[in-house]
Chains A and B, each alone.
Chain A
Amino acid sequence: MRYSFKIGGIHPAPNKIASRRIEIFPLPMRASLPLTQHIGAPSKAIVGKGDKVKRGQLIAENSSFVSAGLHAPVSGTVVGVEDIVMPWGKSSRSIVISATEEEHLEDSHDREKYWCDMIPSICDRSLSERLTADEIRTKILQAGIVGLGGATFPSHVKLSIKPEQKPEVLIINACECEPYLMCDDALMCTYPGRIAEGVELMMKAGGIPRAVIAMEDNKPEAAAAMREALQENKDISLRILKTKYPQGGEKQLVEAVTGRRIESGKLPLSVGVVVNNVATAFAVWQAVATSQALIERVITVTGDIAAGERKNYMVAIGTPFSSLPLTLPGEAIAIVGGPMMGRSAVRLDAPVMKGTSGLTVLKRPERRQPLACVRCGACVDACPMGLEPYLLSTYGRLRMWDEARENDVFDCLECGACSYSCPSDRPILDYIRVAKQRAKL
């Protein structure tokens, strides 16, 4: 039997076509860091125009408990704290750092040494045994780590668990159910031992006795690598799930792994589960073992571009997308993230952020001309939350917020399975999203 969530789900073509090797991408000369890269209060800039910063130095601090700090990804001078246009065209307050040739060379040398010295496969448990939970949590907080799967929830908050909340199992989300994206796959193939160590550290920090690394069955290489790294580990197990979108959705994942269902509006902790992304585990290990803050991450550059350009890169956060080598196929959709939930970008001079898992470039599809809804029920079948997307979408379009609320519009996780499966090409999710926004008021 293959494990999976029970209701709905779709099977888009996986298209995992990028190379699995992680290439270290050169540091940028100029990095911009938006102060809002996470869920919660924006970080507060503690540097100003003209300040000198070193690579890895804290440049913006937590403004409240649910917030995260920012660190300089390159050494250089702060150009200013100004509005930078985000990929989707709206601006956001950011710290901009510019490096000189000299600083750039020095940083690059340090970075090269850092990655070369890393022994990827050994899983050394001494670290998590030596440190206390508080110490680990403080390190995570200081490193500004947020959930790297895309939701960007500050990790130290997630791991601040009181014993009476009885955490039973830590689920490491390595599903990567979005088509095209491969950054987690690549990371597991390359640094399986370090990830395992990161998981140990997270378990210790949260006081969680057991961990399960869950991935879809389309990643045999990653599964083999992780299995080898986990050989003698009794607390961490591997769970292979069916390839089905959205297997990596938090509620779906918890159901697939434990069989428990999180009630609407509740956190996984209500059923004794903590969910974290696999890349977050790696970042935790980096922060605790090597004292490197979250200043770089793996992103996948993929889609309808030349085969040689489809790669996984280790990039510094703040690097502009336009510096990545890729040729656009004429009229295209550039997506920050995967094609199901990623946001479409119109400006590539915007920076890579903490929650950026990739850049997917798709040839422009034929213009979607929505036809009448034939009430085929494909969206109802696809919805992983058991909602009626066609109905919610109509309520959203006709501004019937009360009815939308009565029909559980807030349970919608915006996975896009409804719009994907609609044979009439109706923008179902677009209007549900409007209903979700407006029904709150």
Chain B
Amino acid sequence: MSSEHIFIYTLVLMGLLGLVGAIVLYLTAKKFKVVEDPRIDQIEGLLPGANCGACGCKGCRDFACECVRRGNLDGLTCPGAGAAAMKNIASILGVDSVDAARNIAVLKCNGSCGARPLTYEYDGASSCAVMDAVGCGTSACSYGCLGCGDCVSVCRFGALRIDESSKLPVVDEKTCTGCGVCVRECPRHLIELRPEGRRNRRVWVACSSRDKGAVARKICSAACIGCGKCAKVCPFGAIEVTDNLSYINPDLCKACGKCLGVCPTGSICATFENITKDKATE
């Protein structure tokens, strides 16, 4: 048999094999085709695809299936997708969109390296969960941020990073979707989801220490000492002090910023410049 023959036979044989394979594939695809609501794929396309589980479903695909199955968006929101995407999903389903306030994660600790001296050295696995199980961590504060970045490693949107100088996690408010995975991860429950607020104005107490004022102050200069000045000055009654710790109720807070000016330790944080204080000094 000459070489040309072999060449031709090979071509023909391979071609035939390919043809048979294609026919089989075609027939199987036809026979086993699952008729699926096309809206599922549409909705899934709008979702971030991070499978964070914030919606309560097993993943983004599951969420899309659930939306289509129920036919409405009652109790179903994807914080990761954002308001615009939710509106689109609502229009795909043919229902009215529900306006859900966007939530953003904030850190309830302001114990940067300058404010809170690192008194102890830690020798063990570099994980907040491990460190919290062992003891207070590298500073004397047993409520504050441990700085190992467990929250950073679970964030699927890259919205958290550890700041080099303060050694505290920083939330990027543009990319934070308020999915709440970090909230569940923090062993000291230092991250809270707070509504974005009007004109992106948010005020919160950046401390979680329940130590007595004097003790907390000694450990960290940025600690809330539970003095209650903020509660007194708040015109909306949004602030409450329990267990030596002040808390600003986001539902009542109008982000006026009065409390910022009176806090003696500066443990209240805001996303805007403190106008009230400026006015007072003027």
Contacts and interface: CB of A to CB of B under 8 A. Distances in A.
Interface of A: 83, 88-91, 333, 343-344, 346, 364, 367-368, 370, 397, 399, 427, 430-431, 433-434, 437-438
Contacts of B212: 83
Contact of A88 (B135, B154, B211): B135
Contact of B211 (A83, A434, A437): A83
A350 to B, nearest CB: 11
Contacts of A344: 134-135
Given A431-B127, A431-B130, 15 more contacts: A83-B212, A88-B134, A89-B120, A89-B135, A89-B136, A346-B119, A364-B123, A367-B123, A368-B124, A427-B130, A430-B127, A430-B130, A430-B133, A433-B130, A438-B129
A366 to B, nearest CB: 10
Interface in B23-74: none
A116 to B, nearest CB: 40
9 contacts: A91-B142, A333-B123, A343-B134, A346-B136, A427-B125, A430-B124, A434-B129, A434-B130, A434-B133
A399 B150 CA distance: 11
A368 B142 contact: no
Interface string B89-120: 00000000000000000000000000000011
Contacts of B129: 434, 437-438
A381 to B, nearest CB: 22
A85 to B, nearest CB: 8
Interface of B: 119-120, 123-125, 127, 129-130, 133-137, 140, 142, 154, 211-212, 215
A89 B125 contact: no
Contacts of B142: 89-91
Given A89-B120, A346-B120, A430 B135 contact: no
A346 B140 CA distance: 9
Nearest to A89: B136
B11 to A, nearest CB: 49
Given A83-B212, A427-B124, A431-B125, A399 B133 contact: no
B94 to A, nearest CB: 37
A346 B130 CA distance: 16
Contacts of A89: 120, 135-137, 140, 142
Nearest to B139: A89
Contacts of A399: 154
Nearest to A364: B123
Given A427-B125, A430-B125, A90 B130 contact: no
Nearest to A426: B125
A433 B135 contact: no
A89 B124 CA distance: 16
A427 B119 CA distance: 23
Nearest to A433: B133
B161 to A, nearest CB: 19
Nearest to B142: A90
Given A90-B142, A91-B211, A430-B125, A437 B120 contact: no
B135 A346 contact: yes
Given A91-B142, A431-B130, A434-B129, A368 B123 contact: yes
Nearest to B133: A433
Contacts of B215: 83
Nearest to A346: B120
A396 to B, nearest CB: 9
A437 B133 contact: yes
B259 to A, nearest CB: 26
Contacts of A427: 124-125, 130
Contacts of A367: 123
A53 B129 CA distance: 41
The 10 closest A-B pairs by CB, nearest first: A89-B136, A88-B135, A427-B125, A430-B125, A90-B142, A430-B130, A434-B129, A89-B135, A346-B120, A89-B142
Nearest to A370: B125
Nearest to A333: B123
B127 to A, nearest CB: 7
A370 B135 CA distance: 21
Contacts of B124: 368, 427, 430
Contacts of B130: 427, 430-431, 433-434
A90 B136 contact: yes
B239 to A, nearest CB: 24
Nearest to B120: A346
A311 to B, nearest CB: 26
A90 B125 contact: no
A399 B130 CA distance: 13
B124 to A, nearest CB: 6
Contacts of B123: 333, 364, 367-368
Best-surrounded residue of B127, B129, B140 (most CB of chain A within 10 A): B129
A36 to B, nearest CB: 15
A83 B136 CA distance: 15
Contacts of A346: 119-120, 135-136
Nearest to B140: A89
B3 to A, nearest CB: 52
Nearest to A365: B123
Contacts of A333: 123
A89 B131 CA distance: 12
A88 B154 CA distance: 27
A420 to B, nearest CB: 14
Contacts of A431: 125, 127, 130
Contacts of A368: 123-124
A343 B130 CA distance: 13
